[in-house]
Amino acid sequence: MAVTTDTLAVSLNSIGISQAKGVDVPLLRDQVSGTLPKDKATGQAQQSSNNGEESTSTQQSSTRFTASKELTAQQQREVARLQQIDRDVRAHEQAHIAAGHGVVTSGPNYTYTYGPDGKQYATGGEVGIDTAPAHKPQANIDKGIRIQAAALAPRDPSPQDYRVAAVGSHLETTGRNDLAAVEAQQRAEEAAKAQARKEAETTAGQQTQPEAKAAQVKAGNAPEPATEAQVSNTRTQQAESARQLLARTYTPPKEDRAPAAVSVFA
């Protein structure tokens, strides 16, 4: 699988300082040597040849000292500025590395600029970072968070740092959306299984009811069905009881009654 790698970079331009123009060191040394008398320069060369490494070290120190004396005030300010840039660039890249455990793919690579003193100063740098998506949603969430932490770790993130952080944010969001979809699918599957179990239990209960009744009849626990004669006899008894009750409660109308006896007294 191809691995996507971005870089967390900082440069001289990204921190608002213009590119400094260096001085060629050999040319500077030739200029310094040209100001010395010929016999003195020859004597220094012979002394360097006789004294070996010690003389060479002394001459280099003398050259550096002489070159330093030749720097103008403006050049010295430029050297101080480059020294500060060098410190800031290195601290910037180290912050990426410290916060990027698991996603940083390389150490810092620096770009250098020569200063007026002939030294090299780091004026830009970059750190490789893995931004390829993972296979699982939770892994993408974790990786996206780490990418953002690594990209925004320095005090002054560069534009490239913000772009890499945006990649990490997108990766985290994708992971969360995928995880939510997986969890929703799992809940739907569990609900379907529960519904299937419920329907199976209901069907099983309906099928066992006739069998339970038959078992009760066989065991003598359930009453046997009545015969037609028994049903007819029961109906006759009910009808007779109804007629008797009606006879007891019936009162004939007044016009049907016999006239009452009248007594006449003279």
Q: Residues 178-234: pLDDT tens digits? A: 999 999 999 999 999 999 999 998 888 776 666 666 666 666 665 556 677 776 777
**Mean pLDDT value across residues 112-123:** 97
pLDDT score at 192: 95
pLDDT score at 206: 77
Mean model confidence pLDDT for the chain = 75
Query: Which range in 214-218, 242-246, 247-251 is most confidently predicted, on average pLDDT?
Result: 242-246
**222/25 Cα distance (integer angstroms):** 118
pLDDT score at 177: 98
pLDDT score at 165: 98
Contact at 8 Å (CB) between 131 and 171? Answer: yes
pLDDT score at 259: 47
Residue of 232 and 154 predicted with greater confidence: 154
168-205 exposure pattern, b = at least 16 Cβ within 10 A, e = fewer: beebbeebeebeeeeeeeeeeeeeeeeeeeeeeeeeee
Tokens representing 22 are: 């260096």
Distances (CA, A) of 166 to 9, 95, 128, 161, 199: 15, 18, 16, 9, 50
- Report pLDDT digits (tens) over 165-194: 999 999 999 999 999 999 999 999 999 999
pLDDT at 103 over 70: yes
pTM, rounded to two decimals? 0.53
pLDDT score at 210: 64
pLDDT score at 66: 47
**132/253 Cα distance (integer angstroms):** 109
- Report pLDDT digits (tens) over 14-72: 433 233 333 333 333 333 344 344 444 444 444 444 444 444 444 454 445 445 568 99
pLDDT at 82 over 60: yes
pLDDT at 257 over 80: no
CB atoms within 10 A of CB 153: 20
